[in-house]
Chains A and B, each alone.
Chain A
Amino acid sequence: MAKKEITFGKIFHDGFFKQNPVFVQFLGMCPTLAVTGSVETALGMGAGVIFVLVFSNLIVSLIRNWVPSEVRIPVYIVIIAALVTILETVMQYYVLDLYLALGTFLSLIVVNCLILGRAEAFASQNNPVKSAADGLAMGLGFTGGIVLLGFFRELFGKGSITIWGDLGIQIIPEAFQISIFAQASGAFLVFGILVAYINKIKFRRLDQSEVA
């Protein structure tokens, strides 16, 4: 192998930070914006994405040497679509409320560029274990990103964080809530500010490493 062996540590570091799908790669932005009105839906979407990503990476990696490259994209899409359908069915039975809250976005995991992107960029070139690990890492990174976004939106928009209905904390009194954050347009604003802030940190580090 001429290529440098990729380690699990690097896989997770990439997933969380260096190639964070939400803040760095800007992959899967539709759900990023749509389901981050609350921490709860963000967590649900994150879990769904992790499930699909891990399994799609695993399956894609298992059949990587067998699928002709001309049809790999359609094959990946079919695999992802099947996994998403299974996910939908399972969620409909076990967490109906969450299923209804996520609505069409659950189906749209199929066209989440993150998943197809990881299948194409990683799973089709690595062994199943590492591919699954990459799926988990990327999924967790994605989940972390959208939960962070959801946290700010729910915190400022509704003044409280509510998870699974009964775990509610009122942090900001009603008079000081900014409802725009929880509304659709607020998603752009919060996401924009967060990205700008993360860029700021990123550039500072970059500057420091250049100086060093």
Chain B
Amino acid sequence: MKHVKIIITLMIVVIVATIGVSQVEQYFRPLIKAEAIKAANKAKFKVLPGLETTDDLSPEEGLDFGDTRIQEVIKVEGKGYIYTAKFQGFDSQIEYLLGIDMNNKVTGYITLYQGDTPGYGAQIGDPENWEQFAGKPLEDLQNGDIDGLSGATITTAGWVSSLKKVSEFHETQFGDGSGGPIETPEEKLLRQKKEILPEGVTLTDYTPTQDITGTGITSIEVANDGTNDVAVLYTAEFVGYNEDDIIEYIISFDLDSGNVIGYKTLYANDTAGLGNEIINSDNWIQFEGKDYQELLDQSIDKIAGATVTTNAWSSSLQKVTQFHRQEFEGEVILTKEERIELAKEALFPTGVTFTDITESKKSDFIVTKIFEVKNDSDEVIGTLYLSTTIGASYSEPTYIQFLMGVDTENNLTGLMMVDDSETEGRADTFYEESYDDSIEGSSIESDLEIDAVAGSTITKNALQEAVGHLIFYHLNYFVERVDPLAVDTVELEAAYPTATTFESVYLDYDYNEVIGNIYAAKDASDAVIGYVYYAKADGNNDEIEIWFTWGVALDGTTQQLNIVSDSETWDGAAGQYGTYDGSFGTNFTTTTWLDLFEGVTFTSLQSDPVDTVSGVTNSTGGMRTTIDLIITYHFEQSVGGAN
């Protein structure tokens, strides 16, 4: 009996204790497990809020991640996706988690591992840089539209590219998240287009009547609301800072007001920090309802730090707007080239022809183009300069482009502004023809002062200085230049026997009436070894021209002096004057006097000139004059680097 009681007591105690323990256990165990799952997947719970401990967190299997470097994808039914991916940072492999919900919105981001250098990428571990992701549309990641890490270009680039790959992978793999059909690129494009068009319109391709070459426009579509055409949508492209890739955008114009409805950048692969921010929709908001005139004036908000891309962008938008105004609003908006053409004709009587002779004239830093103006009977009636000079703004370089006409009597036919990048309003008044009223028709040899314009003093001064410089150029350097005269290779070889080929280089240097041509003498390996001058000297009388070729090596040592053609008769000269003793021979072409110019140097010829020959001073003196001129020219023009 006693034993029974002992056993029963023990059994009861054990059973009660076990029941008590198991009750507590049953209550707490699920909670403990949940906590453990939470702790082990702490980061995952953070990037995908709404995740519960009962959710299956096993990675999806059988996915081909390609080159995305995605480590695993967890699909949580009805809640979203968690991606683990890696990329190369500045000096470490960075691993992160990205949560995406069923509506293609990012729910969170966490950097799991980074070993980057502080300042060069380690900021990626800073949760401050993760906050931007929650609620971001997946599209932003595809567009690379994320706030980079300041000062960490390389890591940012890797980051942006990795997120782009992950988001693209997600879109192709899981589409709209709910398992429904994936939005095709065409559908996406159409959706993007509709977002910047009025509701309920249909788009029809439009065939332009005008040439779209050079505008960057790739397609034009007209939006019809059922009864009327209400808007036009342009797809256009241009090249930004990254010269290897284009930036593509769409812009729509309201046909009623003429203003912009909306803008979207479709594609950009520009350099981060130097233009790729064009993909950020923050930069597009400015275009909503923007006045078309502002686009024509290239007046848009800049992308900070991306001057090159901003300029290309505003220029592209200007072209598209110009095209739109002409095509759909019947406006005539002239391009710069067209403005220049019109201005040219305004400066001279009608019916003249302009021939570009810039090539044959001395180059000058403000002379962009020089035109020879001829009337219908082919007589030269004047010269037209297209000048580009530095403008007035101090903050950044600007330019002013204008035309200046001068007639054959050296009178000013007028000034015309054609282009500028001056501060808004500063150069505008100069487009009106009034600014040279008081000096138009005046001789350029007198002091010319263009009309002052209130509020544009500095621009006016810049113009005034440019005009002064052009006048000086016209008076001093504008010399009719004939085409370089060709000469037989035989004559060149005679002047420079050691050279094998010759190439005319005269156009690289200033024109001189006496010099017919200058050739670079090259050896068999195509290296320049010297130069050959083809020049003329006055002979015994004004009717006579002595043409000769004369070689000079790079170091200034003269080669052969070879008479090409002459109507000179040394004999005659001797006979005529009777004082010549015949010591240098009797035929000028072969006279040994010419040998004195061979195998010496330009410098020695300058300091110790060859004497003229008494009895034939006209012919030898003419030669001497030309030879001295060649030497001076050679040094002044620094032919082949001579000095």
Q: Which residues of A contact B (CB under 8 A)?
A: 66-68, 70-71, 74-75, 78-79, 81-82, 85-86, 89-90, 92-93, 96
Contact = CB atoms under 8 A, between A and B. Distances in A.
Given A68-B5, A93-B35, A82 B28 contact: no
A100 to B, nearest CB: 11
A82 B24 CA distance: 10
B112 interface: no
Given A93-B31, A96-B35, A86 B21 contact: yes
Nearest to A66: B9
| Interface size band for B | 10 to 19
A25 B17 CA distance: 29
A89 B9 contact: no
B13 A86 contact: no
A89 B10 contact: no
19 contacts: A66-B9, A67-B13, A70-B2, A75-B13, A78-B14, A78-B17, A81-B17, A85-B21, A85-B25, A86-B20, A86-B21, A89-B21, A89-B24, A89-B32, A90-B24, A92-B28, A93-B28, A93-B31, A93-B32
A90 B28 CA distance: 7
B25 to A, nearest CB: 6
Contacts of A86: 20-21, 24
B29 interface: yes
Given A93-B28, A93-B31, 9 more contacts: A78-B13, A78-B17, A79-B13, A82-B17, A86-B21, A89-B29, A90-B28, A92-B28, A96-B39
Contact of B9 (A67, A81, A82, A93): A67
A202 B21 CA distance: 43
Nearest to A92: B32
B2 A68 contact: yes
Interface in B1-55: 2, 5-6, 9-10, 13-14, 17-18, 20-21, 24-25, 28-29, 31-32, 35, 39
A81 B20 CA distance: 11
A82 B20 CA distance: 8
Contacts of B39: 96
Q: Identify the 4 closest CB pairs spanning chains A and B, nearest first.
A: A82-B17, A86-B24, A89-B28, A85-B21
B24 to A, nearest CB: 5
A82 B35 contact: no
B590 to A, nearest CB: 105
A75 B5 CA distance: 13
- Interface centre among B2, B13, B31, by most chain A C-beta atoms within 10 angstroms, is B13
B571 to A, nearest CB: 114
A109 B32 CA distance: 21
Contacts of A78: 10, 13-14, 17
